[in-house]
Amino acid sequence: MALNIAESVRWHARTRPHAVALTEGDRNVTYGELDLMAAGCANALRVMGVKPRERVVIALPNSIAWVVIYQGVLQSGAIPVPVNPLLVTPEIAAIARDCSPALIIDDGRHAAELREALPEFNARGTIIDVGVEAAGLTLMPGKLAFPFPEFEPGETAVILYSSGSTGRPKGVELSHFNLLWNIQAFANDLLKLTPQDVGYGVLPFAHVYAHTCLFSTFLHVGGRLVLAPKFDAQTALRTIEREKVSVFMGVPTMYWTLLEAPVPEGLDLSTLRACVSGGQALPEQVHRRFEEKYGVLISEGYGMTEASPSIVGNRFDPEGRRMGSAGKPYWGVELRICDDDGKEVPVGEHGEVIIRTPGMARGYWGQPEMTAATFKDGWIHSGDIGYVDADGFLYIVDRKKELIITGGYNIYPREIEEVLYGIPGVLEAAAIGVPDSRLGERVVAYVRASAALTDRDILGVCETQLARYKVPREVRFVDSLPHNATGKIDRARLRLKANA
């Protein structure tokens, strides 16, 4: 059986060509127009020498251009590699070195710096500044000049990068089947989507939650996506009313902000029928107060990029939801809660969450050892600690891996610590996440230094080397840091100290 996830747009272009697929400001793009624009982009990519199965890095904010280029890459037979445009140049360069793309498409923020940072890339690839050179990729609609590319269902469709705890980026390979399975889980099992639904596309499409659950799912069912490059509470509320949005997907920080925001007088949100929260745990107080204030239910769920991402979710019926839990498994998902020896623990006891799912990724691009460590005998070892209650609801209670999740973004401490250790005068450093009512967690850096460094000295360097959301919100200078028996800095003890 042949499969290409880009077939979703082509299907609606044939059957409902005048239905609106995308709205950005005052501009609407129909499915018929989107298919032709994507085909024109695919033709341009082939002319530029991009071959099937080669990688194309897309560093753009949510926009019509993003969607056209992403679909064009798929129609060309190449593999899109979306990255968050908020990343700084060294981070995007590291991803490019890892996946060796044929093309990097940037929105103008990094193009010039990337050309300097990647001299070895200039000989084999191209870096395009879409702000200057958009015409060749997004403004030349047409029909494909070659047969529509088809793949085996298990072939890689997209590579999504998550932060690497080893300091090296992790490119998760998701197949066409992985995406199709996850789409049906969200479209049918959870949201009961129809072509009449309208989604608010403010979550960054480079993140697996928005990429698969929102962007891919809405285009698959033939709904309409209202695109927004960044989140603002008042803008979101007015847009939901004006565009008659029916589904809002966000991270807990967004729900906290909407909860605290004043509601414009006479605001009509009657079309909003469902909200979804992901990225990190949603505080129960925020969850309850939001539902009371806006009169719409939130489905909280749990997933991971390696699962494409959906694993469990709270449904919208009384029996299928439980406040404080991550929900029940989607169709086809199996859960185990295991101890350190890999044995299942009884109901209610804590252990590592182990998952078997049709959404299980192919592995990590070019990292067979890490792939083998995470994907064992058909099961994903999540590194998260949780338990399942007697009714089958999953609760996530801690993380075995020392991930920091702030505002829905995943950050590994070592990413920050590598930068801190590069500052003259820093002897030891550790980054941890501490609870934050708005962000879920905020990054705090602990530093032991031999020189008279200031907060501004530390943060100034971080701001040039890290994406904004990774920059510590606070720097704490200490005389010593706790260590474990092997001499490593004990972040668990540091978190206890920080929260005392």
pLDDT in tens, 130-149: 765 555 677 778 899 999 99
- Residue 193: name the closest of 316, 95, 282 by CA: 316
CATH 3.40.50.980-classified regions of the chain: 1-18+28-151
Per-residue pLDDT averaged across 261-270, rounded?
Answer: 93
**Does 194 score more than 80 pLDDT?**
yes
Report whether pLDDT(165) > 50.
no
Residue (of 69, 61, 183) closest to 136 by Cα position: 69
Phi-psi category of residue 67: left, alpha or beta, with phi > 0 → left and psi -120 to 50 → alpha: alpha
Per-residue pLDDT band for 279 (boundaries 50, 70, 90) equals confident
Q: Which tens digits make up the pLDDT trace of 360-393? A: 999 999 999 999 999 999 999 999 989 999 999 9
DSSP per-residue string spanning 250-286: E-HHHHHHHHHSPPPTT---TT--EEEE-SSPPPHHH
For residue 412, the model assigns a pLDDT of: 79
pLDDT of residue 256: 87
How confident is the model at residue 484, as a pLDDT?
A: 66
Does 305 score more than 50 pLDDT? yes
Residue 385 has a pLDDT of 86
Give per-residue pLDDT as tens, 31-88: 999 999 999 999 999 998 999 999 999 999 999 999 999 999 999 999 999 999 889 8
Angle between helices 284-294 and 252-260 (to 10 degrees): 50
In the predicted model, is pLDDT for residue 198 greater than 80?
yes
CATH T-level assignment (fold) for domain 404-499: GMP Synthetase; Chain A, domain 3 (3.30.300)
Q: How far apart are CA 376 and CA 247, in angstroms?
A: 36
For CATH 3.30.300.30, list the domain ranges present in the chain.
404-499
Instruction: Decide the pairing of beta strands 170-175 and 363-364.
Output: antiparallel
Confidence of residue 164 (pLDDT cuts 50, 70, 90): very low
Sign of CA dihedral 371, 375, 381, 382: positive
- Lowest-confidence region among 62-66, 111-115, 173-177, 464-468: 111-115
Query: In CATH, what number does 1-18+28-151 get?
Result: 3.40.50.980
Task: Say yes or no to pLDDT of 299 above 70.
Answer: yes
On average, the pLDDT of the chain sits at: 91
SS3 content of the chain, % helix, strand, coil (to 5): 35, 25, 40
What is the pTM for the complete model shown?
0.88
The hierarchical CATH code for the domain 174-355+367-400 is 3.40.50.12780
Measured over the CA atoms of residue 26, residue 30, residue 34 and residue 40, the dihedral's sign is negative
Given a contact cutoff of 8 angstroms between Cβ atoms, the answer to whether 323 and 299 are in contact is no
Q: Tell which residue, 3, 28, 367, has the closest CA to residue 169.
A: 367
* The predicted structure's pLDDT at residue 309: 96
Summarize the confidence of residues 184-201 as an average pLDDT.
97
- Coil vs helix vs strand at 302: strand
Burial of 126 (0-12, 13-18, 19+ CB in 10 A): middle
> What pLDDT is stored for residue 131 in this prediction?
60
d(CA 241, CA 248): 12
Q: For the ranges 85-99, 155-169, 331-345, which has the lowest average pLDDT? A: 155-169
Asked if residue 278 has pLDDT above 80, the reply is yes
Percent of the residues in the chain that have a pLDDT greater than 70, as a whole number: 95
pLDDT digits (tens, 9 = 90+) for 393-414: 999 986 666 778 899 887 878 8
- What does the CA dihedral 56, 36, 156, 5 come to, rounded to 10 degrees? 150
Which segment of 342-351, 383-392, 394-403, 483-492 scores lowest on mean pLDDT?
Answer: 483-492
For the record, the structure tokens of 19 come out as: 């239905």
Phi, psi of 244 (to 5 degrees): 55, 50
- pLDDT at position 308 is 96
Distance CA 372, CA 282 (A): 31
Taking residues 458-470, what's their average pLDDT? 95
Q: Dihedral (C-alpha) 447, 453, 456, 459: value to the nearest 10 degrees?
A: -40
pLDDT band at 496 (very low <50, low <70, confident <90, very high): confident
- For CATH 3.40.50.12780, list the domain ranges present in the chain: 174-355+367-400
Would you state the pLDDT for residue 129?
74
